[in-house]
């Protein structure tokens, strides 16, 4: 197969399917804390504001990770970067299951959020390069991994929470990150051929010019839109994820 013809090929769709699976596993780091917020609030007898701190740290780590892991992908490749992120998440969930304070849990969730970011922006960016005619569809499917994680993990972990504690659920997530996510990253170790990458980047640059904005201005507007979107989403997620606590603020 000639290099440029690999774009939108069967191999591209297989890579997208694997990326979606990795995204569903990796984005558990973003949603797990929402699921256990009532447990955290009850166990540590915390106010609503205090119980939200691990979630806030997760989002901060997620934001930093999308930027810094993206740079690591440019230097070390997607597979190695994802494997390292999955390992960080696995270790983070295991340590979180052992902490005895919200402060410690908050610090650990900064690392969990950082690792989880590899399964969002960097993964979507890689997938986009493998498509030309169906790039928009491919990016949309890859992005769905984040939301599928939010839909599936609460159902998957509910039996563990029902029969055990949130710490048991976190140990399960730690094992899944190391035993499932890390091996899956090996399937993405083959990079896009140089000739196909050149065609893909040229097409992306040509489409970006149609906006009439410079790359920096376009990036800034997308960043503002992303923040506005995620702030609006996070409020109902966290509010509905917590049990009411009389007298808390």
Residue 246 lies inside a defined structural domain of this protein: no
- Residue 97: other Cβ atoms inside 10 A: 19
173 found inside a domain: yes
| 67 within domain boundaries | yes
Q: How confident is the model at residue 97 (pLDDT cuts 50, 70, 90)?
A: very high
45 vs 59: CA distance, rounded Å: 23
Give domain status of residue 133, yes or no: yes
Q: Which pair of structure tokens corresponds to residue 110?
A: 């900064």
* CA 133 vs CA 136, 148, 198: distances in Å: 8, 25, 15
Q: Reply yes or no on whether the pLDDT at 7 is more than 60.
A: yes
**Which residues, other chains included, contact 48 with Cβ-Cβ below 8 Å and sequence gap of 6+?**
41, 242, 245, 248, 249
Cβ within 8 Å of residue 91, ≥6 positions away: 111, 174
Quick one: what percent of the chain has pLDDT higher than 70? Answer: 88
Could you read off the pLDDT of 146-186 as tens digits, one per residue? 989 989 999 999 999 999 899 999 999 999 999 999 999 99
Residues 6+ apart with CB under 8 A from 20: 141, 142, 144, 145, 148
Percentage above 90 pLDDT, the chain: 61
177 with 93: CB under 8 angstroms? Answer: yes
Question: Does the pLDDT at position 95 exceed 90?
Answer: yes
Encoded tokens for 213:
């904005």
Whether 245 is covered by a domain: the verdict is no
Residue 6, both tokens: 């690999």
Task: Enter the pTM of the model.
Answer: 0.84
Q: Report the SS3 class of residue 101.
A: coil
Q: What is the CATH number of the domain that holds 197?
A: 1.20.1250.20
In a domain, 248, yes or no: no
Q: Which domain holds residue 77?
A: 3-240
Read off the DSSP letter of residue 191.
Answer: P
Q: What does the pLDDT read at residue 184?
A: 94
Q: How far apart are CA 211 and CA 230, in angstroms?
A: 24
Query: Would you say residue 38 has pLDDT above 50?
Result: yes
Eight-class DSSP state of 177: I
> 234 falls in which pLDDT band (50, 70, 90)?
low
Res 206 pLDDT > 80: no
Sign of CA dihedral 19, 21, 24, 27: negative
> How many domains does the chain fold into?
1
Is position 98 within any domain? yes
Burial label for 39, CB within 10 Å (0-12, 13-18, 19+), is middle
For residue range 40-74, list pLDDT tens digits in order. 988 998 887 888 899 999 999 999 999 899 999 98
What does the pLDDT average to over 203-218? 73
Q: Cβ distance 171 to 94 under 8 Å?
A: yes
123 part of a folded domain = yes
The Cα 17–Cα 185 span in angstroms is 12
Per-residue confidence band for 242, with pLDDT thresholds at 50, 70 and 90: very low
117: helix, strand or coil: helix
Identify whether the C-beta of residue 109 lies closer than 8 Å to the C-beta of residue 28. Answer: no
């Amino acid at each position: 197969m000639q290099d440029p013809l690999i774009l939108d090929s069967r191999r591209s769709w297989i890579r997208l399917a694997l990326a979606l699976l990795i995204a569903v596993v990796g984005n558990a780091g973003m949603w797990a804390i929402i699921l256990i917020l009532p447990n955290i609030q009850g166990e540590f007898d915390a106010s609503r504001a205090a119980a939200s701190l691990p979630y806030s740290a997760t989002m901060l780590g997620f934001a930093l990770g999308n930027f810094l892991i993206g740079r690591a992908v440019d230097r070390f490749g997607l597979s190695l970067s994802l494997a390292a992120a999955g390992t960080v998440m696995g270790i983070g969930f295991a340590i979180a299951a052992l902490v005895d304070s919200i402060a410690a849990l908050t610090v650990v969730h900064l690392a969990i959020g950082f690792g989880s970011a590899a399964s969002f922006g960097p993964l979507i960016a890689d997938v986009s390069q493998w498509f030309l005619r169906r790039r928009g569809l491919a990016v949309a499917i890859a992005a769905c991994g984040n939301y599928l994680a939010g839909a599936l993990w609460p159902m998957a972990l509910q039996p563990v929470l029902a029969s055990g504690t949130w710490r048991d659920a976190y140990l399960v997530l730690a094992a899944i990150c190391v035993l499932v996510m890390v091996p899956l990253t090996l399937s993405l170790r083959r990079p896009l051929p140089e000739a196909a990458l050149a065609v893909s980047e040229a097409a992306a640059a040509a489409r970006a010019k149609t906006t009439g904005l410079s790359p920096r201005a376009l990036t800034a507007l997308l960043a503002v839109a992303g923040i506005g979107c995620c702030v609006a989403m996070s409020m109902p997620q966290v509010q509905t994820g917590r049990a009411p606590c009389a007298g808390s603020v």
